[in-house]
Structure 1
Amino acid sequence: MSKNERITENIVRSLLQDLNYYDENSPVIIEEQKSQIVVINKLLKNASKTGKGGKGSPEFIITSPDVPDFLIVFECKADTKFHQSDNLDKAKDYAVDGAIHYASFLAKEYNVVAVGVSGQTNSELKISSYIYPKNSSQPKLLSNKSGKPIEDIVTFDDFIEHGTYDPDVAKERFHDLMSFSKVLHEFMRDHAKLTESEKPLLVSGTLIALRNKPFAKTFSDYEPSALQKQWMHVIKEEIEKADIPYSKKNNMTQPYSSISVHPELGKPTKSYPKGVLSELIKMLNSKVWPFISIYHDFDVVGQFYGEFLKYTGGDKKALGIVLTPRHITELFSHIANIDKDSKVLDFCCGTAGFLVSAMHHMIKDASTDAEIKKIKSEGLIGVEQQPNMYALAASNMILRGDGKANLYQGSCFDLLNELKGHNCNVGMINPPYAQSDEALHELVFIRDMLNCLEKGGIGVAIVPVSKATSPHSVKEELLKHHTLDAVMSMPDLLFDPVGTIPCIMVFKAHIPHEKSKQKTWFGFWKNDGFIKTKQHGRIDQKEVWSDIRDEWIDAYRNRDEIAGKCVRRHVTHTDEWVAEAYMETDYSDINKEEFEKTVKDHFVFNILN
């Protein structure tokens, strides 16, 4: 009996039906052979499987406005013999090859899940799925988080989730997000007339509001002035539901109040008849919400805050503290060797970047829902004094799904007893820099953070390297009560465009340095593999960071001594706490060009300073 491709298509249609793809309440759109979406039709215009030009026509094209950067294509063949060729290069004859062929055209604008299906009955059906990341040149097998290939037709959300965790997809989405941050900044500057401090609040407040599904579906129905009031009402509602411990609800909502009555947001304009706020919500809903609803380990609020700093005229620290780059917040969790039983204190939490990274690290170590619930309710403690920054931190934890970190608003120095009561065994801090008041010196923040930890707890701090090299009375006090476990010299441009050169200090709490009789480990961690680019700032362009990080952490944990990289020394409070003071230089890899460049840089430095 001859085999009929229409039978295969009917089986696929039936499976999609069973998985609620055709549900009238679903946002998923299924089209066959052609699409109503102009961009898709344009991309398929010359995508014929014959390779001779002409329009391409996938069996099924599946999209959703909720995930605008993803789509799914299906190609079917009746005979399982024509499921997949060895080289995936016979688009006309094989199901998988055909799906990948169409995906290669569509990947210019989308992340594409390409599904090839062959067979005439459910029992013999063969299914293979690939992910073709946006702007990439090659497809990859679609796998779940454990690396198992997806060999079934699954729900739309499952297909998207599996595709989302592909590293190339995540990287491309991150770049898109950062490019969008510039567009958003310019839109808010030109049309909303928001102050620099109001811009990140509008982002965080809107993302909180979009957690409310009725609001997300109906915000465009409101008149401009009514939308502002509803925006504020929904934020209050979501904050009330989140019920973050120790928080004062008014402290969390008050920073958003100026936006709720901002005159430019609540009136229609010729360009935006529904109002500027409606347009901003639409932009964030389509460009940012799909990202934040999936990547719970990513500090989106902090990232936007940092990106806005780049476009701020004048002082780059105009909005407050110097924020810690994402890969460094993640590095802190590795240094402290965090697990599901850790209790983490961030003494000056800013937008809660350290807590977001720590929570992700802890959850990866958990194996039950009860353990995850305990992490979120008891394992994360933060303090932030600035009201606007506190609101951003609180929103960040709310946006983690059901994250309920114990967030305090106020001065960390006024809350020492409360913080000690949490019995934290890990402390993290990036304190305010260059305060004129000696009582607010960076080492004072570190001292009081360590005093809040359990005995043997690990405290990790990132501070200007001058605090490690210059004499200060608090250095003696620190070593009298705590052990200086390690100091790592970090990249000079880590905080670019802010010109602070940092180092990381690691302490063991409540074990006096002299009694520990321990040599301090010094690491020369100057090259993190990140490259400064014009468009995106410092990025891991060559994708070497994870290997460098693992090498650093292995050397630290093993207390290795490697010429030019790391060394151990007994130090006191009168010594310099940096690797450069003790490390032997490894000259074996130095060439003439590097030597000349170093001499020139040193010469220029001496002239400028």
Structure 2
Amino acid sequence: MAKSIEPNIADLANGWLKSHKLDYKLEQEPLNMEIDKALSDYFTKNGGTGANRPDAKLLLQDKNLDFFPVLIEYKGYKDKLVKLDANGQVENRNSKNESHFKNINSYAVNGAVHYSNALLHHTSYTDIIAIGMTGYKDEAGNINHEIGVYYVSKSNLGVGQKIGEYSDFSFLAPNNFDDFISRVKTLSLTQEEIDLLKEKREKEIDASLVKLNNDIYQNEKGLGENDRVYLVAASIIATLGIPGKVTPLEKSDLNSSTEKGNTDGEIIIRKIEAFLGEKELPKEKKDLIVRTLKNTLLTNNINKVENGESQLKRVFTKIVDDLGIYYKIGLTTDFTGKLFNEMYGWLGFSQDKLNDVVLTPSYVANLLVKLARVNKDSYVWDFATGSAGLLVAAMNEMLTDAKNTITSPDELTTKEIKIKAEQLLGLELISSVYMLAILNMILMGDGSSNILNKDSIKDFDGNYGFGKTNVKFPADAFILNPPYSAPGNGMNFVAKSLDMMNKGYAAIIIQNSAGSGKAKDYNKKILEKHTLLASIKMPVDIFVGKSSVQTNIYVFKVNEKHHKDEMVKFIDFTNDGYTRRNRKKASNNLRDTDRAKERYEEVVSLVRFGKSKLNIFTEKEYYENTIDPKNGADWNQQAPVDTKPSLQDFKRTVSEYLAWEVSEIIKEETIEIESLGK
């Protein structure tokens, strides 16, 4: 095998850095405390923990005084610049969503991107330049080199985007760096690429949550389900930080001291109070969060010091190491919903009343949001909000619509703030679940203002919960996955919500017995004022691992009485294109095996525009018919099956019968011959 010429490559590249008078540091040298600590805390390229050492590193500043860390990795072989996956992304994860250490180790760009993720995970830097360089000597002994320059940032979820083609490092020189950063800032991913990356990252989150939960479950004794959820919530809030105001809590800030006022639990609580103090949340909400978290964080057992470390510090370290990068890169997903499902799914529910809390998978949440026609100007509410997964999906849809339609950056910023502060409202009665909804919205950049810990049936008057508390929330989109043990399987929530709305649409997923008699009285009452547009039969295993009840989605038009001649769209969506498994340790229990994305898009189009949009589905799955508004139990219809036999059916039956007759005769003859032989 050819000998590595890495020393020659390093010598050539470092010579360029020197010629541009750049203050670069080689692998052993310190750059700054924050970066050095992040690199030493992160996983090494071989998968252990300990010192990560890029071959060279710099910290450069542009004309806006923003800092950009630059991490450089050298190799000395031909074809060892970068390893990409099938989608053209830097392949640093394998099919099981684990770090692909062979690639990280062998390829220059993959190594540099790996180091850059350490900075995203453990520092306040959100934009990093990752450079890989490799080369070889040709027959004449000349060095041939190639360079890969990638942008790793919060905006591309840490995956890395190629910036351009470069033959040397002069783009880092002071007189070229501003132009280079301008080019970096014009890089953007298409919505399709962002969706693919999100999907990939979401699978990684699932794998990390399973790993973390197993670890805590097996190795950390004495922690109940709620304790575990609260520990994750507390650790995340304490490490978020607010630029220029609250520094993120570091692992090294926890000293496992037994001194009163200085235990690990008290340090975390102080950090949470500082963080919440900077957030403009109502006092009662802040007090509730702190009070709830204190119950877990201040107990003696969790702060007891053994071998120089408290259980709290140990768990905090695991959480930050396993999950830190996912909430630091601003992934807009129902993070705490995943957390909730994983934490509770492992041990099952300890309280019977919580059996009702079944969280909606994110792809179903997105479907409900689209069926309720949510856009940037919608006012969306949810009367049984759980971990706020449906509101997170609505918020994402609203922010995407705003980004696609508003061209002024100032106007867009104002709109984004308004969406989060004023255009979402959620109600959740169970306090441990309510805490998760709050955390979810804090992680999303803060739509938590109007998440209320109230009984939506008994105690909610339709007003904002914060700010304009004497003003009605002008809801025009309602999304819901209700507790099925509530009256009418949860149709009581639908009846109350729709009657508080003046216009708009609603999409709810509910046990389908609600449409065939269980909620008859509520349904009749609803149809006196509102129209049922569609009834969609969902796959029976959609809540795999939680429950296997048959659910339907019902879509309504608000404040328009259901006319008896109104055609309702009945869709059999039991084949939604996904294959689900229920394996606790699987890295991916959901696989798109038959055009699932396209099927979900088609269902939205069918509900909105009707039969003309039939493409994947046929008239066996799509059926239009009227319902009787005075019945309330005829909401689950399906296309009638033609029972009249065709000539083809007749021929097939006759031929099958004759084949059977012949086989019986042969059997009898065989038996006779055998008995004669005896």
TM-score (norm 2): 0.67
Task: Give the distance between the partners of 1:289 and 1:407, measured in 2 at CA.
Answer: 25
Matched ranges for 1:103-122 at <5 A: 117-119=166-168, 122=171
1:270-316 residue CA offsets vs partner (Å, 9 max, x unmatched): 4xx32221122222222212112324420111111111232114789
Q: How does 1:270-349 map to 2 (within 5 A)?
A: 270=307, 273-313=308-348, 319-320=354-355, 321-349=357-385
Q: Show CA shifts across 1:195-233 (max 9, x none).
A: 122222221222111113534235544225511112223
1:214 corresponding residue in structure 2 = 247
The DSSP-based 3-state class of the residue aligned with 2:427 is strand
Is residue 2:400 matched to residue 1:373? no
SS in 2 for 1:342: coil
- What is the match of residue 508 of structure 2? 461
Shift of 1:358: 0.7
The residue number in structure 2 matching 1:24 is 32
Q: Are 1:351 and 2:351 counterparts?
A: no
The aligned residue for residue 601 of structure 2 is: 550
Contact 1:252–1:390 under 8 Å retained in 2:
no
Q: Which residue of 1 aligns with 2:206?
A: 178
Offset at residue 547 of structure 1 (A):
1.9
Counterpart in the other structure of 2:281? 244
SS of the equivalent of 2:166 reads strand
Give the secondary-structure state (helix, strand or coil) at the position aligned to 1:414: coil
Q: What is the match of residue 187 of structure 1?
A: 215
Deviation at 1:412?
0.3
Indicate which of 265, 268, 280 corresponds to 2:305.
268
Structure 1 position 68, deviation (Å): 5.6
> For residues 448 and 77 of structure 1, do their structure 2 counterparts lie closer, same or farther at Cα, with a shift above 3 Å needed?
same
Rg: which structure is higher?
A: 2
1:514 aligns with 2:563: yes
2:305 aligned counterpart, secondary structure:
coil
Secondary structure of the residue aligned to 2:553 is strand
Helix, strand or coil: the match of 1:417? coil
Question: Are 1:255 and 2:303 counterparts?
Answer: no
Identity of matched residues, %: 19
Instruction: Measure the CA separation in 1 of the matches of 2:453 and 2:589.
Output: 32
Question: Shift of the alpha carbon at 1:479?
Answer: 0.9
1:199 aligns with 2:228: yes
- 1:576 matches 2:620: no
Match of 1:499, SS state, is: coil
Asked if residue 448 in structure 1 is aligned to residue 496 in structure 2, the reply is yes
- Cα distance in 2 for partners of 1:15, 1:253 equals 45
Is the deviation greater in 160-169 or in 232-241?
Answer: 160-169
Q: Could you say if the C-alpha distance between residues 336 and 258 of structure 1 is closer, same or farther in structure 2, counting changes exceeding 3 Å?
A: same
The correspondence for 1:481, drawn from 524, 529, 546, is: 529
Say if 2:579 is the partner of 1:526.
no
CA separation of 1:64 and 1:464: change in aligned 2, threshold 3 A? closer
Deviates more, 1:242-251 or 1:479-488: 242-251
Matched residue SS, 2:209 = helix
CA contact (8 A) 1:486 1:521 kept: yes
Taking the aligned partners of 1:402 and 1:276, their CA distance within structure 2 comes to 30
Deviation at 1:450, TM superposition (A): 1.0
Moved more, 368-377 or 528-537: 528-537
Change (3 A) 1:525 1:541: closer
Q: By how many angstroms is 1:328 displaced?
A: 1.0
Structure 2: 5+ residue runs without aligned partners?
1-11, 56-72, 81-101, 123-127, 151-157, 407-411, 464-470, 647-678
1:215 and 1:113, CA in 2 relative to 1: closer, same or farther beyond 3 A?
A: same
Distance 1:124 1:43 in 2: 20
Structure 1 pair 276–114 and aligned structure 2 pair: CA distance change class (3 A)? farther
CA contact (8 A) 1:522 1:579 kept: yes
Greater shift, 347-356 or 561-570, is seen at 561-570
Residue 8 (structure 2) aligns with: none
Residue equivalent to 1:429: 480
Q: Which residue of 2 aligns with 1:85?
A: none
User: Counterpart in 1 of 2:429?
Assistant: 385
How far apart in 2 are the matches of 1:298 and 1:156? 26
The aligned counterpart of 1:105 is none
Count of residues paired in the alignment:
525
Contact 2:149 2:166 in 1 (8 A): no
Pair 39,312 (structure 1): closer, same or farther in 2 beyond 3 Å:
closer
> For the Cα contact (< 8 Å) 1:66–1:290, is it kept in 2?
no
1:197 match: secondary structure: helix
Deviations along 1:43-70, one digit per CA (max 9) or x if unpaired, are 99997524799x9684994545344699
Shift in alpha-carbon separation, 1:14–1:553, aligned structure 2, 3 A: farther
2:300 aligns to what SS in structure 1?
Answer: coil
Say if 1:48 and 1:56, in contact at 8 Å, map to a contact too.
Answer: no
The answer for the alignment partner of 1:107 in structure 2 is none
Which amino acid letter does the alignment assign opposite residue 388 of structure 1?
S
Aligned residues: CA RMSD: 4.5
Aligned AA (2:133): E
Instruction: Give the conservation status (yes or no) of the 8 Å contact 1:29–1:64.
Output: no
- The alpha carbon displacement at 1:11 in A equals 7.4
Change (3 A) 1:581 1:432: farther
8 Å Cα contact 2:77/2:135 also seen in 1: no
- CA, structure 1 residues 485+332, in 2 after alignment: closer, same or farther (shift >3 Å)? same
TM-score normalised by structure 1 residue count: 0.74
Confirm whether residue 363 of structure 1 aligns to residue 399 of structure 2: yes
Instruction: Write the deviation string for residues 498-520 of structure 1: whole angstroms up to 9, x where unpaired.
Output: 122211111112211127x4211
Q: Secondary structure at the residue paired with 1:95? A: strand
1:36–1:383 CA distance, 2 compared to 1 (3 A) = closer
Deviations 1:115-143 (A, max 9, x none): 76304855999x9xxxxxxxxxxxxxxxx
1:566 counterpart = 2:622: yes
Equivalent in the alignment of 2:676:
none
Where does structure 1 lack aligned partners over 5 or more consecutive residues? 83-91, 101-109, 128-150, 589-609
Deviation readout 1:63-102 (Å, 9 max, x if unpaired):
4534469993422789xxx9xxxxxxxxx84515x789xx
Deviates more, 1:37-46 or 1:441-450: 37-46
Distance in structure 2 (CA, Å) of the matches to 1:187 and 1:362: 37
Match for residue 550 of structure 2 among 495, 501, 515 = 501
Alignment match, 1:395: 439
